[in-house]
Structure 1
Amino acid sequence: MKWCMNINKLAEITGGIAYNCSGDEIVKNVVRDDREVSDGTVFVALKGENNNGHRFVQRAVNNGAACCVVDKEEGSFGNLPVVAVDDTFKALRDIAAFYREQFNIPVVGITGSVGKTSTKGMIASVLGNEYVTLKTEGNYNNEVGVPLTIFRLTDNDEAAVIEMGMSAFGEISRLSKIVKPDTAVITNIGISHMEHLGSQEGICKAKFEILDGLSIDGTIILNGDDEFLWEKNGELDYETLYYGIENKSCDVVATDIKLYSCGSEFNVKIDGVDYKFETNAPGIHHIYNALAAILVGYRYNLKVESMIKGVHDFVPEGLRQVKTNYPKFTVINDCYNACPDSMGSGLDVLVLTAEENGGNSRKVACLADMLELGETSEQEHYKVGLMCAEKGIDCLITIGDMAGNIAKGAIDGGINSSDVYEFGDNESAISRLGGIIKNNDVIWIKGSRGMHLEKVAEALDKMGNS
């Protein structure tokens, strides 16, 4: 962390009152976990649904905290060094916003309904060939995770790629004002969080809050194949660049696409010259991610060779399309999260993988509930079932109450009911897997994070290694 403030400055930034503090002491780090405290650290006590950081103020001080940022309403902390504020969550954001201002480097902010994390990774992979690049790790894309990511910036960093998530109006605005990007990327406008935002128009409005922190001379990069984003063409007070596949009016367009179970090939024309790109991540959705990264590279005048290498070297994070070949079957673990768009992309990967196995593999989809779809949930799950039928899925396993609508759509679409298995929970499904899975199957696992399908993946791993 860059040493840029003392305790007095921190109190000023947060609008707090310092008690029992050495005001001139330099802040060396800011954390929200008392176990990460060392000498000179500021511990911010956050009160959540299941835990209250104020219970650990004494331990943080014992571990060497220079001071602790606490809520005024929590009362007195005796002679402990604290800065008392109205809201510790806001204080965390305010400190992060001040800290961000100490760095004059390219910063890319990313939001969207689908593909944020993979696009972030692709962009960081591209920028990383010419800049030392910090990127958001894991799911640190919320109002706690983004400030903690900003605190990881050091004088060694030459660029940053920050992911911003949300579930309600105002969140992206607050995050963007912390991140202060000079390039903003919106991947698409889907229907996730519909229950909180009411409509796709509402979702679009919430995503465009990213402009609230965009620098005055900033650039916004948008998916031109998304109708909600294309409608903004010519309406924004920023340089606006579009990428796409179907929309040939975009600034960069992928052509000559070849899809494989292990990746893809495609061409992109840059400054009038055609270049070939290759990904090692399967699915057309990763081509969209690559196009966004190419435009970011172009925005910062990167060499085309750096873009090509960055796209090629990108590897998806976490539980996203991780393919494991077992002796008797193949599993594609894609259970990090789910929405209707990502369901369609994943089904395509399942089909490609089975085809490349010589056409002798059954295509098995194990699908669970997609959460936070609001009033559209039943309809959207049913549509996924119809997609399963259209794409020739041989066996369907559904888990969860809403996923039963996937089963109904699949049967209505033409999949034999004897090849459709409905379960209310993971445990019930796991108990039957041995009788469902056959030799040479390709099994794709997908569902919202809250459905914990990693339990099913673990059960299949045991089966595959037994």
Structure 2
Amino acid sequence: MKPMTIHQIASFAEGVIYKDVTDENLISHVTIDSRQCRKGSIFIPLKGSNWDGHHFIKDAAKQGATACFFEPDVISGDAIPEGITGIAVNDCQKALENMAMNYRNQFDIPVISITGSNGKTTTKDMLASVLSSHYQVLKNPGNYNNHIGLPLSIMALNENHQIAVLEMGMSGPGEISLLSKIARPDYAIITNIGMAHVEKLGNRMNIANAKKEITDGLEKNGVLIINRDDDYYDYLKENTASDFQVEEVGLNTLSTCYAREIKDLGQKGFEFKTNLTGDFCFKVRQPGLHNVINALFAIRTGLMFELDPKDVQQGLDSFKPTGMRMEICRIQGADVVNDAYNANPDSMKAAVHFISKYPAKRKIAVLGDMYELGEYAEEAHREIGREIINQKIDYLITVGNMSDWMAEESKKLGMGHDKIIRTSDYVEAAAVLKKLIQKGDVVLLKASRVVALEKTIDVIGEGVQ
């Protein structure tokens, strides 16, 4: 963060300083965790359903924090400890957003925003890696992609950064619009429109409209990059303001940037060329055809920043996916594909398709419940059951109540009852898998985050390589 005076912070946050301070007290760090406070920190005491950060202002002061926000209807200014400057605001969350929005305006650098139902984190990490071959890049860490994480990420910008790559997530309408207006991107990427969050949004059209909100803060004459292969490509393009330049990536040869001469290397990834880079052959080291699409977003954007294809490839080589996304480890002589970070129908079908092509003696799918599907939950889980049959998976281990629909559908379509094992949690699944797994098998672990299916590895995997 670029050091700022408390007066500047108060102005950006539309707050009022409780007591006079000198401009020698500079703020160089923003946090919502009192344990991370130090000299130069400003502590933001956010409120949740079961907690209130105001209770930790004293702890922040003990850790050395220089300042904090506070809401006068929660605590009085007199309750702010000595040694820490209080800034009164109406709402700490809104103040954080205002502060980030005004702070972002201090930087005249390109901002690239990314959203989508699947692949947004991988695309963010790939693109940041590609651009880092020539630029100093800020990206939001991990899942810092919501109304809290994105403002905090923007507040980490400093004078050395030349580009910001920001992922934007959502659970309901209006959320991405807010994030886009805070970040004011010059480039916006929509990876795809899937079924994630359909429980709250009702249908894919509403999801498409929510994702399209990423253009609400897009600068005039900005660039929107979308997936030509996606079902909602036409809708997104036709319903985007004419002020924007629209670029497309995909396998469709009508795309601005498309992949050609694709060679599947199995668990070693893919090699391919593009229509924009002649005979240069790109390689992504991550399995799954969806990663070719993710890479195309990074390639097209990198080329727009005038990177040479060799520099783009250097970035793809340096890319390391965030944990629990198609991670392959060896347990008891079998390859275990840990894709358990999260799941929705599209990403689960892609993962099942991947192991169906895997060079293994037996294909075992350990699949758990997919959440936030609302009235579509039963049909979505049954669709995965049909995919198990279509992709000729040898064993299905289900985890949770909703995944019983997968088991029912697979059994109805002819999968032997001895090939389907239903379990209630990852502990039971691990016990089954420990007895079943053999050398030469491939095992897929995939479920929504709450299922914590990755813990299966801890139970069965002493000596993971």
TM-score bracket for this pair, using the shorter chain length: over 0.9
- CA drift of 1:327 comes to 4.2
Say if 1:79 and 1:449 are closer, same or farther in 2 by CA, change over 3 A.
closer
Tell me the equivalent position of 1:20: 19
Distance 1:235 1:177 in 2: 19
Q: 1:318 aligns with which of 319, 323, 348?
A: 323
1:100–1:178 Cα contact (<8 Å) kept? yes
* Residue 120 (structure 1) aligned with residue 124 (structure 2): yes
Q: Is the 8 A contact 2:18 2:77 kept in 1?
A: no
- 1:330-345 correspondence runs (5 A): 330-345=335-350
1:267 to 262, 273, 276: 273
- Tell me the CA shift for residue 235 of structure 1: 4.5
- Give the TM-score normalised by the residue count of structure 1: 0.94
Residue 214 of structure 1 deviates from its aligned partner by: 1.0
Q: CA deviation at 1:10?
A: 2.3
Measure the CA separation in 2 of the matches of 1:34 and 1:21.
Answer: 23
Corresponding residue of 2:353? 348
RMSD of the TM alignment (CA)?
A: 1.7
In the TM superposition, what is the alpha-carbon distance from 1:159 to its structure 2 partner? 1.1
**Equivalent position of 2:234 in the other structure:** 230
Give the paired residue count: 457
| 2:297 counterpart of 1:289 | no
8 Å contact kept, 2:364–2:393: yes
| Structure 2: unaligned runs, 5 residues or longer | none
CA deviation vs aligned residue, 1:232-272 (integer Å, no higher than 9, x gap): 33543200000111x2211011111122222111110116x
Is 1:277–1:312's contact at 8 Å kept on the other side of the alignment? no
Q: Deviations over 1:395-441 (max 9, x none)?
A: 01000111111111222233212100011222322333333223322
The partner residue of 1:132 within 133, 136, 142 is: 136
Within 5 Å, give how 1:344-423 maps onto structure 2: 344-353=349-358, 355=359, 357=360, 361-423=361-423
Unaligned segments of structure 1, at least 5 residues: none
Cα displacement string for residues 29-56 of structure 1 (whole angstroms, at most 9, x for unaligned residues): 2111112222222111111234321111
State the Cα deviation string for residues 62-121 of structure 1 (Å, max 9, x = none): 333222101222121416231121111111111111111111112110000000100111
Distance 2:413 2:297 in 1: 35
> 1: CA distance between counterparts of 2:400 and 2:368?
6
CA distance in 1, matches of 2:204, 2:328: 33
Q: What is the alpha-carbon distance in structure 1 between the residues aligned to residue 294 and residue 432 of structure 2?
A: 37
Does structure 2 retain, via aligned residues, the 8 Å contact 1:279–1:314?
Answer: no
Counterpart position of 2:312: 307
Query: Could you list the runs of 4 or more consecutive aligned residues of structure 1 that deviate by over 6 angstroms after TM superposition?
Result: none
Would you say the 8 A contact 2:54–2:75 is kept in 1?
no
Contact 1:107-1:162 at 8 Å conserved across structures: yes
> Is the 1:223–1:230 Cα contact (8 Å) retained in structure 2?
no
Structure 1 residues 327, 422: closer, same or farther in 2, change over 3 A? Answer: closer
2:109 equivalent among 105, 111, 133: 105
Contact 1:108/1:184 (8 A) holds in 2 = yes
**Cα distance in 1 between the residues matched to 2:128 and 2:50:** 34
Question: Equivalent residues in 2 for 1:245-256 (5 A)?
Answer: 245=251, 247-256=252-261
Secondary structure at the aligned position of 1:367 is classed as strand
* Identity fraction in percent: 39
Partner amino acid, structure 2, of 1:267: K
Q: Report the AA paired with residue 46 of structure 2.
A: L
